[in-house]
Amino acid sequence: MRKTLPWLLGAALAVTAGTITAITPSDDALYAAISVPGHFDPDAEDQQPVTTRTVTASVIDATFAERIEDGDWHADGTWLVVTVAASATRSEFDAELGLAKLHIGDEVFQASERTRSGFLDTGLRLGIDTTGMLAFELPGDARRGTAQLRLSSSFLTPHLDDVATLTLPLDELPTARSIEIRPPEPAW
């Protein structure tokens, strides 16, 4: 028994160390944003908003477009135009959509900053929805499957914060020839 006890103790310690290593999150996971999930249903009349620490947001509409227009500026291509309703959650200080990314598989697309009337960096009101449009320029083959729209406040790297993550069913979205990007407006 005296000879086997050290071996059993060593094996138990090795198994314990392996288990602890396996369940310990990576450094990236320790600092990553916390996803608050939601979804967009194109057939539903009312969309359920997602509430994070700084922003409450919901997708009102999502449409593919072959062309977007903003005043005298326009661009052709494959565009996904997402209309979002958002408001400040607790305070109007620093409440805005500063981060809007679309994740399709392993690819990440930023909301276009070329549109003057886009929703990025628009101040949000406490308890009053502001409706605005986000335009994402996509490759032509990105119309299948699902996408995740990730929205956050003005922090460009939302480490240790929460992010509204809204799933969009790309297969079910309509296509328009052209969409005019309208400036954000509060829902008074």
What is the tens place of the pLDDT at every residue in 83-108?
999 999 888 887 888 889 999 999 99
pLDDT at 25 over 60: yes
pLDDT at 158: 57
Would 133 be classed as within a structural domain?
A: yes
Per-residue confidence band for 155, with pLDDT thresholds at 50, 70 and 90: low
Would 2 be classed as within a structural domain?
A: no
pLDDT at 83: 95
Instruction: Tell me which DSSP letter residue 123 carries.
Output: B
Would 26 be classed as within a structural domain?
A: no
Domain CATH number, residue 72: 2.60.40.1240
Could you tell me the residue range of the domain that residue 110 belongs to?
32-186
**Counted domains in the chain:** 1
Would 144 be classed as within a structural domain?
A: yes
pLDDT at 156: 52
Given a contact cutoff of 8 angstroms between Cβ atoms, the answer to whether 50 and 152 are in contact is no
Would 165 be classed as within a structural domain?
A: yes
Would 15 be classed as within a structural domain?
A: no
Would 75 be classed as within a structural domain?
A: yes
Q: Average of pLDDT values for 107-114?
A: 92
Residue 55 β-bridge partners? 88
CB atoms within 10 A of CB 129: 20
Tokens of 19: 């288990």
Would 129 be classed as within a structural domain?
A: yes
Tokens of 3: 């000879």
pTM for this structure?
Answer: 0.81
